[in-house]
Each structure stands twice: as structure tokens, then as C-alpha cells.
Amino acid sequence: MKIAVLPGDGIGPEIVAQAVKVLHALNLDLTLEEAPIGGAGYEAAGDPLPEATLQLAKEADAVLLGAVGDWKYDSLPRDKRPERGLLRIRKELNLFANLRPALLYPELAAASTLKPEVVSGLDIMIVRELTGDIYFGQPRGISTLENGEREGINTMRYSESEIRRIGRVAFDIAMKRNKKVCSVDKANVLETTELWRQVMIELAKDYPEVELSHMYVDNAAMQLIRAPKQFDVMVTGNIFGDILSDEASMLTGSIGMLPSASLDANNKGMYEPSHGSAPDIAGKNIANPLATILSVAMMLRYTFNDEVSAVRVENAVKKALAQGYRTADIYTEGSQKVSCSDMGDAVVAAL
């Protein structure tokens, strides 16, 4: 089995190095091959997704990504910017299912800005559609109207089959969890999401054990703050999922802990931390590598179907936390502040 390793920008290389260390320590039969993406891709080949990187990612069984983006690329033309590399690889590999868990580690409960009783035990799985919606819909662009002023347009667009395949992912995951799916839309205003709701209702018939509910996106943004533990699996489109998954991850107060998976129809996947490239702390060996290490656990679970190794990695992370090791972002008095590479070592030791 082959893993494409794409460290990317900012803290990407240092956190990916720790995840690679963990992969090696597992002693599985895996080949790793590295390639540049994002700003690093632009530096190396003038393209945020160099052709060779895309080829490698296509051939590989799974992709491990660090993060992309750095302010220094802000003035590049749109299609050279790091984010473009990310959007293109998602689309090229057909990674339509983005799984973003929002999980609160008991040891880190104090890091949340919410009251402990509101978030303790929080465990939500957000299933976000990742290759459709207003992110990719045509027509799009900025043009000049007859009266001389500019106008911007983008198109939200979903077909039934796109909705059904992401719905299935959500229902399947719910079957392995608490059997509750909350589908988030804006069906009272947007026809696209009216169709979304209809398809979810149809699909629910195949999953009689799962309780399906619907929520408007504005209400979902409120309910995540009011009573987040009401949610088990939340499924929604690309743009609403972008917003709500970030909101949900911040409920935990420790976004440095949250992994993500982006899967195609055959469980090939790209795995990356939910957080960004944090260029301000890059190269200082102080970033938190745990989200990336936990992304490896998701890779083992979803792509390699190796639940045993996945749980081994997750338990090793829990053990490192229980031993009191903390990177700066999750440090609290009484615990032991460690560097990015120290944390990687602690997880390896705990394996």
C-alpha cells in the first residue's frame, strides 16, 4: 500500500513529520512518497498542485496532507494560490465526503470557551459534501454590467445523485454510532436545499433504524452553541459544512486535536488536520501534531480498514495526554509543555 505524503506549507512539514514517525512505528507494510502542494507546489513547480503531485496522489491508496496556505502568497493570481491546490485535489480525486469529528477530550475540557457541562462528552461527526455546491458551480466570476458596474456571481448547484451519495455516507456512519442524522439546509429559502431535504427523506427509508431530523442552517449555528450534545451525525453541503464544521470544532477549544478525512466512493481518502497552516508559528517546533497523527488513525480506519491499528494510534494519543504532555496550544498549568517533535515521540513511545 502506498501513501502520498503532502506536507504543504507553514507548520505542515513539522506536523506531518510526526505523523510519519507514528506510521513507521506501526510497522505496517506501507510505502511513503512525498510531494509538494500549496505554496510549496508553487515554489517547486509554479503550480499549487503540480502535475507530478497529482499523479502521485492518484496512484496512491491514501494521501496524508499537512496544511496549505501562507500570507506570502496572498498577492498571487487566484489560480496560483495555495487553496486552489487543495480545491483541485479534492475535485480531481473525487473526494466528495468530508468527515470532520468534533470530539472533546476529557483532559482538555478546560480549553473550551463553553461551560464544561455544555460540552463535556461532546462527540459530533460532521459529514460535509466536498466536491459540489457553490464551491464548484458554474457560471461563476466577476463581470461588468451594462451600466458599467462590476457584478460577482457564483452558483449553488446539487444534483440528486450528489446529494444521495453523501447522504448514504452519513447514514452509514450513523449506523455505527448513535443512529441519529441531522440534515442541515436552508430549505425555506433555497431550492437547491429543498431538493437536498427531499432526497434525505427518500434515503431515510433505507435506514429505518436511523432517526433523521432537519434543521435550517441558521438554527444549526445557534443549536451548536445552545446544546451541542443533541447532535450525533450532521450532514450538509459544502459551504454550510465549511462554516458549521469550523464552528463545531471550536466548541472543543482544541482545534489542534481534530483530524479529518475526505473520501471518494471507494474509501480512498485524503487525511489532514482540521486546523490550518499557521504560518506565524511555522518552523518553531511548537505546533500540535496530534490532529495529524489522529488523521493517520482515520486513514487506517477508513482506507485500510485496519480498525485495530486505528484504535492503537488513538489510544497512544490518549495515553500521551493522560501522561500530562501538552503542546503550547493546549497547555494548562500543572501539565508538561512539550515541543511538536517531543509530542510525536511521546505518542510513539505510548504505542
Ligand X SMILES: CC(C)[C@H](C(=O)O)[C@@H](O)C(=O)O
For a second copy, the binding residues (CB under 8 A) are 78, 81, 83, 87, 113-115, 118, 134-135, 137, 140-142, 145, 149-161, 186, 188-196, 217-219, 221-222, 224-227, 239-240, 242-247, 249-251, 255
Is 282 annotated in a binding site? The answer is: yes
246 is an active site residue = yes
- How far apart CA 301 and CA 315 sit, in angstroms, is 14
Cα gap 279→291, rounded to integer Å: 17
215's grid cell: 434543521
Q: Which member of 135, 207, 302, 325 is catalytic?
A: 135
Question: Shortest distance, CB of residue 84 to a second copy, whole angstroms?
Answer: 9
286 annotated binding-site participant: yes
Q: What whole-number distance in Å separates Cα of residue 36 and Cα of residue 47?
A: 10
Phi, psi of 3 (to 5 degrees): -115, 125
* Residue 27: DSSP 8-state: T
For residue 349, the 8-state DSSP code is H
Out of 9, 186, 268, 329, pick the active-site residue: 186
313 binds, among ligand X, a second copy, none (CB under 5 to 8 A by kind): none
Q: Which residues bind ligand X (CB under 6 A)?
A: 83, 86-87, 188-189, 218, 242
Give yes or no: 218 in active site: yes
79 contacts which partner out of a second copy, ligand X, none, CB within 5 to 8 A by kind? none
List 61, 123, 172, 246, catalytic entry: 246
Here the cell at position 247 is 464552528
- 280 is an annotated ligand-binding site residue: yes
Would you call 79 a catalytic residue per the annotation? no
Which of a second copy, ligand X, none lies near 204, with the C-beta cut-off 5 to 8 A by kind? none
User: Is 90 labelled as part of a ligand binding site?
Assistant: yes
Among candidate residues 9, 70, 232, 242, the one labeled active-site is 242
- Residue 328 and residue 330: Cα distance in Å, rounded? 6
The phi and psi torsions of 30 (rounded to 5 degrees) equal -130, 140
CA distances from 167 to 152, 237, 250, 266, 296 (A): 31, 10, 25, 15, 24
Q: Among ligand X, a second copy, none, what binds residue 190 when CB lies within 5 to 8 Å by partner kind?
A: a second copy
Whether 91 is a known active-site residue: answer: no
Instruction: Read off the DSSP letter of residue 70.
Output: -
Ramachandran category for residue 139: left, alpha or beta (phi over 0 → left; psi -120 to 50 → alpha): beta
CB closer to ligand X, 38 vs 50: 38
Annotation marks residue 135 as catalytic = yes
Catalytic residues: 135, 186, 218, 242, 246
Query: Which residues participate in the annotated binding site for NAD(+)?
Result: 276-288
Query: Which residues participate in the annotated binding site for substrate?
Result: 90, 100, 128, 218
